[in-house]
Each structure stands twice: as structure tokens, then as C-alpha cells.
A and B are shown apart, each in its own frame.
Chain A
């Protein structure tokens, strides 16, 4: 069991250990009682104390061989594809990324079908249509992108299945890695830049992926907003109804790989969760519909759940979701069903864990809570806490009178009540996980009025190093955003911290001398300063460290861009207020480091990409699963997993920190963070 094993630094998957299948401790853990859980906790703590030594020996305290395999699936390197592997891993663990991917995919495919049908129709009627070619081109483009998204989604699903299987039946012979070839192929059709097997920039790949996703999203939203919504919804409704079948076929095609998981179920699970999430973005008028749909989904699942184990597991997942957000409505019968069926314990725990990993990151739910203005808010301090309060939650729901009974009855139909869900999905694709907005503010030094220009961003490229030849200039011209708090201004930010880098990023220019600003209020050319402020922060903030700088004085022969290996301390969490506009400041957003793509090597054309991902510990999930009353320490809830292509190892938070933040003597081997993924944690959560 992964969580049982003492955390090791970059432990590699090795056949040597696979001879000892660690089935027993894992089982114990899963079905284990509270006492056992406690014990294992203690065990864990002791092992971490001198983990370093043991990581070498690979033995636990009691001499048992430790678990060599991690229940995480890596990617094979199929020829310099570590840039792809690392980015895919980071994205995979982004809260809701997979959900959004699935939604966009679904709606996108429907859109594509409709469009291509339209084009065919037009083709028949009026061959002289000038727009047709452009339309066709667009459809081709979108279909290429959708293909890429589809492959990504497939691979993620496949990996999840694999991980689930492994946890269920850990086998030393399991091939714990997948081949990203199909994704790569699809990627190449979208962006020919990635052809061949050259080393590529992970950030370029990320940009390419995100902008592709964005392109589909925007194109569809555009159609949705201008076209007949009802018609569209109906169409998508069809998709939703049809999806299970289609994906089942997919599932059966891949049946060999995923014997215990049926994709259709997964999708079914994701939809409600997505629904909830997107709710927060939807117009208030749509809320009722949305709520109903959720209820429909839940009760629907309840009905299904009695029919098969598979469905029960699914409903359990839903139950988990309900617990996270009690307002969503909980079906007590459902719960009882699940509790009765002790045989499903294993699967249940699995499901919960996966939910945490993939959809149930705290950010969305706590945000929802704020927006829905819960009457009785239970701070979701930990997943366990929520589980413990499950009963309360149900009561809350019942008393809150949010569900209309009349609406529940039709949802008991075995047929999918897809339409409301569709609305959600429509709303869902109209927002983006990664997109935020920046404001470029120009302030007149004379009258102090300012003008603003809004820009959207998907990642933030920050410097890691102040260039020497620019240093003097910067010293003359640099200004700090005025939002900076009074106290901190005396302390000049030391170079090499993310704070410094972000300040540097938002730092503007001053319009002076011959480049003065024409102030509309003064009607005069005046001095002005220009700086960036965050106006809207995304759920997932991607910080790109500009380690590859193509500046002339650092150019190395051979065309490759040298890398700046300067140490940049990566904080595990960061507050953004000081770089925000007033409105944005009030939200007090805190960001938690979620994954890191790092680069080892000395130039853009050489080296290796790795990714570190923060995942909830399996143990924590197990604990709550066994209905333990004990609250686990938040520190123990997460662990870091290092993905090095097909090799996977788990790290404790401390190990991870030392890994990415401590300057190493041998710079060559030291891997430097390159892309940082921060996900939003609201203040409420912190409280």
C-alpha cells in the first residue's frame, strides 16, 4: 500500500521488489478498524523520522519489505516525450481538469456532428456558398482538437482504471505505465510543431493544449449564445442519453484493460459533479433547473444502484459528493444501501479516493458554498470532517427545503433526465479553469486618474533572474504596484523568490521623457506609470518560470537556448492580494501548490522533464471510509508523487520541498521547477 510505505526520495519502479506482493497490509488498511488505523498512523510517523536511512534499505521498521510499487500510473517515454508526459501528469491531477475535458468533449462532439451535418446540407443546396470552405476548415480544426482531447481523456480514464485495478489487486507484474502515443499523434495533427521526436518546451506544449481547449470552448459557447439554445440543448440531450452507450462500446473495446470499471459510470459520476461546479457560474435564474437536475441524477443513480454493484459504487461516489456539499441533496436510502453492502467496501473506498483526486478538490465545493449562501455552513476542513457530519448534512438538506418533492418523482424514472444536465454542461464549458484576467492600468502622475485595459491569460510567465545589463535601467525605471502594503515596501524583495518574480511580472513601465502619456483629464502630456494587476484569478494558476531566455549575450552555439538554473524558491502556498485589483483583493484568494513540472539539464534542447503532483493520501481516504471519528491531521492528508516518465515515487511534503527548493551543489543534476500549478483555496477553507 502506497501510503504505508515510508516515503522515499525518487524511488524507482523496479522489478526487484515486485516479488513481494504487499497485498496483506493493504487489505488490512482498507477494511481495517479504527485501532488498526491508529496503529498504522503511528507506524507511519516513526518511519518518516528516519526515512532516509530506510529509503535506502527499503525496509520498514518491523523488517517487512516495503511496498515497492506506487499505485500511480506513469507514461512511457516514447522518444523525448518527457515534456508531454510531465505536462499530462500535471494536468491530470488538476482539480476538475478531467471533468472539464469530458464536458468539452461531449458538447464539442455534438456540436461537430451538428455542424458537419449542416455543412453537408448546405453542400447539397447551394454549392456556391463562399463561407463553406471556411466553415469546413473550422470544422476540420475543431475536430482535430477534439480528437486530441478525446485521446487525452481516454488515456486519463485508462490510467485511472489501471490505478484502481492495482489498488484492488496489487500485482508485481502490473505494467504501471501507459504509452502516450495516441495523444502525441493527435497532438501532432493539431500542432505540427510537435512532429518528430525532438525535445520540446513543456510550456509550449501546455499553451498549445490549453489554447486548443479554449478554442473549442469559445467556438461552442459562441454558437450556444447566438444560436437557438433550446435546439442546442435538445441536441446535446441526445448526446447525453447516447453517451453511455457509446462509451460502453469504447469500454468494451478496451475491456481488457479495465475489467472493473465501466466508463459510462464514470461519466455518470462526473456529470453531477460538473453540474455543481458550473452552477456557480451560471445565471441565478438557472439555479433551480440545475438543482433539479442534480437531484434527478442522484435519485436516478439510486435506482440504478440497486440493480448492480457497479451502479452502487457509482452512487457511493455521488454520496461522497453530496457530503462535500450537503446542500446538493442526499438520498438516505442510497446511503443505507451502500452501508448495507459491505462487500463493496473496497470499491467504495477506491471510488472515494478517486473522487478526491480527480474531481473533488476542495476549491470548487467551498466556492459553491459561498455562492449558494448556505444557511448552515459546515466548514469542510477535511474530507473526513465532512463524512462525519454526513448525518447533519442530510438533515440540513431536508430542512432547507431546497428540493421540491414534485421534482424528485419524475427523476425516479430509469430514463436519463438529460436536459437539465445539458444546461449545466453548457455553462460548464463556458468557463475555464486556467483563464484569468489581468488589467493593465495606466495612471497619470499628475491627476492620478487611470485607464485600464483588460487582458486574459492562461499562464503567467515570470522571470527567474534579473539580467545584468538591464539592471541599471530597471533600477531607474522600475516601479512597484501601489497596492503593495505599506510595511513591506522598505524590504526590497530578494531576487529568487516567487514573490519577487510576480512583482517583477506586474511591474510596469513609466511613461516619461519623449514617451509621455496623453491624459484625457489633464488634456496634457504627462508622466504616467503602467502596471499589471490581476483582476480575475483562475481556479488553476499556471506560473511559468522563464528559464530559457533567448538573449543574445547568453546564446550558446548550436541553436539551443541556455537555461537559467537560478534558484527560485517555490512556496507551497501563495497569496495574491498584493498584485490584485480592489475587487479581486477582497476575495482573499490563497493558492496551494498542486503540481510542478520541473526541468533537469542545462539547455532547452537537452535535459529532462519531471512532474511532481500533490495527491490526497490514500490513507486519509481509508480513514474516513472506516467512519473513524478521529480527525486526521491535515499535514498527513497529502503526499507528493514524482512522475519521471514511467517511474513513479512518492514523497512526503518535506521531502518534496527540499527537492525543489534547496539549491544543490551539482547544478547539472538539480532539477529546477519550470511550470508551477497553483490551485485556488478560499479563505473559508483555511479558516
Chain B
């Protein structure tokens, strides 16, 4: 899939513009849920998902638990901690930021951008209100939550402690409530223990043979538990600095750990979709609590520590009643029965579907998607909307069905990391997609055909509500039909050899006094717009409709990339793509043609226009001012529109173009021919020949080469020729009028 290429190379970080195709309110998690926090005071659950949204659930009303979404992250939310007695939520995300939220109202108070890579883990020391964050950048920072919540626009400096010496990407962190130890688990396979007060290394605990995915520590920091991708859970004595027990009940990597306050029971879950309850004091005490339908990402103890909330790579959140299993205690040394203790969850918070697969259609505008529920949908990348929900149909069939032999260059990339379509526009390749407005159904049907650029239209639409992007143009009184839009797209420049001058036609468009966005469509107001570095570091996120807001206005001014400004504010028009090609008389395969004229034209030039060019320039028509002159690039501007059309028609009747010995469709364009028929990066080669057996219509210069086709078609009936002649006559009449 076009959008799914791997990130490669280093170099200068370019700023991309991205937007998400989604519903205004996303009440359900779209993808896996990475983290949860339970608030016992409000009986609320906070869940941070891979869909970049932290949602608040009211567990008092399980019929409709959704409270609100906390949307500001742009990538997976990897970890959350609830602090300040449930008033503040801190979240860590793969967008490399840590955000501080007002947990009750759900708005983002501040964003910490110190990490350089995905922030994977947070740890919380309740007594001190300290939070540590660790990420794939091998950094750990320690934050004072009280300072973070007091940050304002003017007082926005935070001091942070950082821990040095970490050698590998951090995947897990743990801190005890009093904040006397901080433990980190990483791909280094060792646990590193630090003293957060002095930032000093205390010890390294070796034993795991793979990445350490989860760490928890008991209250007095005497023991800690760690789980690893190697499939084991290990209990460590921090005072003895060694591993005192290893629990090997899981078959695959153990990703989540969760223990009760007294550290007498812990739950472990992971890739093998099984959750075990174990008493750390008795290594043989593991009980299979339940099986889940997908790998376990996180567990959280709910009300009275008698409920276990489980989040998996699927979007559902499930609550298991563990009252019974707790009371089994460690005393029961019965062997684990074959089945799990619990067969079905007590509660389920339903999750939504995530898009798993996509196919960009050839028009480079519509995207077909397949989601985790096997639903197929059609989206419009240009207007950022869903066109149609096609239901449960075969995805591949639908892709085949919608194949059109049309070629439009790529102008965006798309990814599915948050389970929704996220379109990325990049400075270097966002503007090659020029299309005819009529053909793609933009604008009114009675409007003249206009060339529009997808990238340009989208950028304008995204910044539609930003006052800076509005333009005031006194010249806009000029009627639309004469506003300089170049409808005459059929100009062909002939250049010999390597010289290839490109002079894109200027065209500006001003409809009303205040020009907002593009004049064809608007984006849905809730569309999130993101400026970010190509690697995933987010610089700024806003909703399309909020661009006019006061703070957004200012922030936008600072963060809009220059290349976007050029188009959206300064109305600079992207350049047309030129395609160079050779136009030669058709010859039988095997014979080499004598002359090679290199031509250059707009890549969306239709074949019929080339036919017309051939007809007028090479086929020796009566219009003597044109024929025989191969250097002439512009056709005479005299003929009226009707005559022009007529001429095209005649040309279509008389001339046919071939590429790779295949007769070309007059309505296809050069880039389509190059892509689907020529199939090579080399310059396109087109051949022309007359459709009729008519010696007089052949230009002298082409006589030699044309003789071959003449003989080849000599047996053709002649009534066709008559018809053509008649047409030709009528054309002349027209012209005379």
C-alpha cells in the first residue's frame, strides 16, 4: 500500500501537515488500549488508547459509561498516571510528548516536549506527587506534578531531574509511593534501580533474557516484580539485590503486571492471552484467572481491588470479578485445573473497530478501507469525509471493481497507526496531482473546466478558518469566466535536444472579496490538523474549525511551515508537471524512425489534444500557416471555441496515436499513458498514424514512413473516407461563418 513505506534516512527534519479522517465524536476506542487508571473517588476509569485518545468512563452507569474524550495526542497513548487525588492526569504518548490534563474536565493543561522519541512509561510517587517518564530515547525525567499543574503561558519553565547511564530504550518504569526508588526496565534486559532523590544509580538486576515490559514495586521498596518478553515474571529483593523467584507460567512474553496494595497477589498477562494470579511468596501458587481474546496490554485493579480491568490489543475493555480468586489465597495448593477460573467478564466497555487495511484508488482521492470488523468503507481524502460505508463486502473484490485506468500522481501518504485514516502531506511531493475540476466533480457543472491541484486545495481547506489565510483582493471583481484560468491546456512546446523550458501558466482565482479556503469544498470542522516532523514528533495540533481561535491564531503563525504558507496564504500556485515525450510517425516494428522530436507538455494533457496537434502540424491540413512547421508550439488563437472543438473532433477522426503498438484512448491523458501503457521511466514515445487511407492527408515529410501503413490499410473500404470529407467540409463552413 502506497502509504505504508518505512521511515528511512535521517537528514533535516521536514515538517509535515497531517489530518485525520474521523467522526466528530469518537465514543469508542478505535484500536488497542495501552493503559488504564482507576479513580476510586469518582468510580471512573481513564483509558488511553492507541487511537491517541484518553477516554473517561463512568463506572456508575455501565449502560452508557462514556463521559468524554481527552484528545490532544496525535499518536498512541502509552501510559497514564492519575495524580493529585484524581484531579490531574498525566499521559505519555508515542508523539514524544507528555501531557498534563485536568482529569475532571478533560482539557490539556500543558505539554512536555523533552523526550526525543516515543514516551513509553510513567511512574508515580504518590506521597511526593512526583512523576517519572521514560522513553525510547533512553531518557528518564522526573517531574514535580505540583509544578506542572501550576504552569501558565508565562511561567512555563520546568526543572526536571534526569537519570543518566541508561543504555537502552525504556519500556517500563516503577516508583514506590514515597519516591525512594525508581526502577526501569528496558531492552537492555536488566532492571536498573535509581534513587530519585539523588538521581544516583543504586543497582542493576540481571536475569531476564529479553526486553522488560513491565515493572512494579511494593510500597516499602523492598521487593519488585518484573515481567519480560522472555515469558517470565521475576521477583527481586531490592535489599539483597537479587532475583528471589521466577514465575514461568506464561508461554509467551508477559506484557502486563498488576499487584494489590499489600503485594500479596499479582496478576500477569501478555501475549499468550492468559491472565494468571500468583502469590509472590509462593511460586507454585499461580491460578489461571481467565483467557482473553487477544494479547493483554494492561491490567488495572478496580473497585475495592476486587475487580480487574483488562485492556488488550482489541478495543474492548473488560472487567473481571476476582473477588473469588482472591479468597482462594495461597493456602489452596490445588493444581491448576485445565480451565480458567472465570469464563466471562463481569462488565465490558465496548470498543469500536479500527481500520486495518487500505487501498488508495487510482484517482488518488478515494481510499477503500477494511476495518477490524471486516467492514469496507470508501473515503474521500480530499474532503476528509467518509463517502460510503459498503458494509461487509469482499475488500479485494471492491478494490478490483473500483479500478479505473487513470493515473494521477501521488500527493499524500496515509497511515493507520491510530486505527483511523491519517493523511500526511509533505513539502516535496504534495503538489504533483493536477486534475481537471470537471472530471473529478468539483465545482458547479456549468463552470468551465479548471485545473486544480489536490494538495493545494486541501491545504487551503485545512486553514480555511485561519484569518491569516484569508485574502482580500480588489481584482476579484473580474468575472469568473475570464479570471485568467488557463482553460487552454493543449499547448505543446516543441524543444529540440535537451532544452526544455518550463513556463507554467499563471492562474489566480478570486471569487469574492474575502477568499476563504478553496472555493470548492470545506473540511469538516472537527478534522484534527497536525504539524509534525516526519519521524512522528508532533509540533502542533488543532481542529480545523478552531484555527480562528485566539491562541490557535498565534500558535499557528509560529508553527505553520513555510511551504504551507506559500500556498495557503501567498496563493502561490504549484508548478505543473511537465512530461517530455517523443512524437513520431508510426512505423512498422523493426524499422527505425529517422527523426526524434522531443516535446514537452503538461502531464494531464489529453491524448485528443495531441491528436489535434498532429493533425494540424503533421498531417498537412489546409491551414497552411501551421502545417510543415515543426517548431511551432502554439496553435493559432483565432478559431472560436466551437471550431476548436470541431477541429479536435476531426483530428480524432483522422489521426490515431499509438504507444507500444497500442491505440490510445483520446480521453486518457499523457501521464496515464505513460503509467499504464509505456510503463517505463524513460521518455514516453508516441506514434501517430492516419486512421484513413488517404494519401493527400500525409505530410510530405512523413511520406516515406507513412507509405508502409498506406499499403497496410489499402484494402479498407472507401466510404469512410467520404464521411470524413463531408465532415471536413462542414468544418470549413463553420470556419467561414
Contact = CB atoms under 8 A, between A and B. Distances in A.
Interface of A: 445, 447-448, 475-476, 479-480, 482, 484, 486, 489-490, 510, 512-518, 522-525, 527, 529
A514 B8 CA distance: 7
Contact of B295 (A447, A515, A517): A447
Contacts of B167: 475-476
B230 A482 contact: yes
Contacts of A514: 7, 9-10, 535
B169 A527 contact: yes
> Closest 10 A-B residue pairs measured CB to CB?
A524-B417, A518-B6, A523-B416, A489-B209, A448-B253, A514-B10, A482-B210, A523-B417, A525-B7, A514-B535
Contacts of B171: 445
B7 A448 contact: no
B612 interface: no
A510 B211 CA distance: 12
Nearest to B5: A518
Nearest to A523: B416
Given A514-B7, A525-B417, A529-B187, 18 more contacts: A445-B171, A445-B211, A448-B271, A475-B167, A476-B167, A482-B210, A486-B209, A486-B230, A489-B189, A489-B207, A490-B207, A513-B136, A514-B9, A516-B7, A517-B6, A524-B76, A524-B417, A525-B536
Contacts, number: 67
B209 A527 contact: no
A515 B94 contact: no
B401 interface: no
Interface in B1-23: 4-10
B6 A482 contact: no
A513 B252 CA distance: 26
Interface residues of B, number: 37
10 contacts: A445-B171, A445-B229, A447-B271, A448-B229, A480-B209, A482-B230, A486-B209, A514-B9, A522-B417, A527-B169
Contacts of B536: 525
B313 interface: yes
A41 B5 CA distance: 70
Contacts of A515: 7-8
Given A448-B229, A479-B187, A525-B7, A512 B136 contact: yes
B209 A447 contact: no
Interface of B: 4-10, 50, 76, 94, 117, 136, 167-169, 171, 187, 189, 206-207, 209-211, 229-230, 252-253, 271, 295, 313, 356, 415-417, 419, 535-536
A475 B536 CA distance: 27
B589 to A, nearest CB: 15
A489 B356 CA distance: 38
A512 to B, nearest CB: 6
Contact of A513 (B50, B94, B117): B117
B190 to A, nearest CB: 10
A529 B210 CA distance: 11
Contacts of A524: 50, 76, 94, 417
A23 to B, nearest CB: 62
Best-surrounded residue of A512, A522, A523 (most CB of chain B within 10 A): A523
Contacts of A529: 187
A518 B271 contact: no
B415 A523 contact: yes
Contacts of B210: 482
A490 B206 contact: yes
Contacts of A476: 167-168
A488 to B, nearest CB: 9
Nearest to B117: A513
Contacts of A475: 167
Nearest to B75: A524
A448 B252 contact: yes
Nearest to B419: A523
A522 B356 CA distance: 9
Nearest to B137: A513
Nearest to B252: A448
Contacts of B7: 514-516, 518, 525
Contacts of A448: 229, 252-253, 271
Contacts of B313: 447
A524 B78 CA distance: 13
Contact of A523 (B229, B230, B356): B356
Contacts of B209: 480, 482, 484, 486, 489
A518 B252 CA distance: 22
A514 B76 CA distance: 17
Nearest to B313: A447
Contacts of A517: 6
A518 B171 CA distance: 18
A448 B254 CA distance: 11
Given A482-B230, A523-B416, A525-B6, A445 B76 contact: no
Contacts of B356: 523
A480 B206 CA distance: 14
A445 B271 contact: no
A516 B415 CA distance: 15
B187 A510 contact: yes
A476 B7 CA distance: 22
A291 to B, nearest CB: 43
A512 B313 CA distance: 22
A527 B295 CA distance: 18
Contact of B187 (A447, A518, A527): A527
A635 B535 CA distance: 61
A198 to B, nearest CB: 41
Nearest to A489: B209
Nearest to B136: A527
Contacts of B4: 518
Contacts of A447: 271, 295, 313
B325 to A, nearest CB: 27
B637 to A, nearest CB: 52
A342 B168 CA distance: 74
Interface centre among A476, A517, A527 (most CB of B within 10 A): A527
A653 B82 CA distance: 69
Contacts of A486: 209, 230
A587 to B, nearest CB: 22
A482 B232 CA distance: 13
B68 to A, nearest CB: 25
Contacts of A489: 189, 206-207, 209
Nearest to B211: A445
Nearest to B255: A448
Contacts of B117: 512-513
Nearest to A479: B187
A518 B4 CA distance: 8
Given A447-B313, A490-B206, A523-B415, A512 B252 contact: no
Nearest to B116: A513
A489 to B, nearest CB: 5
A489 B206 CA distance: 9
Contacts of B5: 518
B474 to A, nearest CB: 48
B674 to A, nearest CB: 28
B187 A445 contact: yes
Contacts of B189: 489
A253 B210 CA distance: 65
Contacts of A518: 4-7
A480 B295 CA distance: 25
Contacts of A484: 209
A527 B168 CA distance: 11
Nearest to B271: A448
B78 to A, nearest CB: 10
B242 to A, nearest CB: 11
B53 to A, nearest CB: 16
A115 B295 CA distance: 58
Contacts of B94: 524
A489 B246 CA distance: 15
A515 B8 CA distance: 6
A512 B187 CA distance: 11
Nearest to B415: A523
A480 B229 CA distance: 14
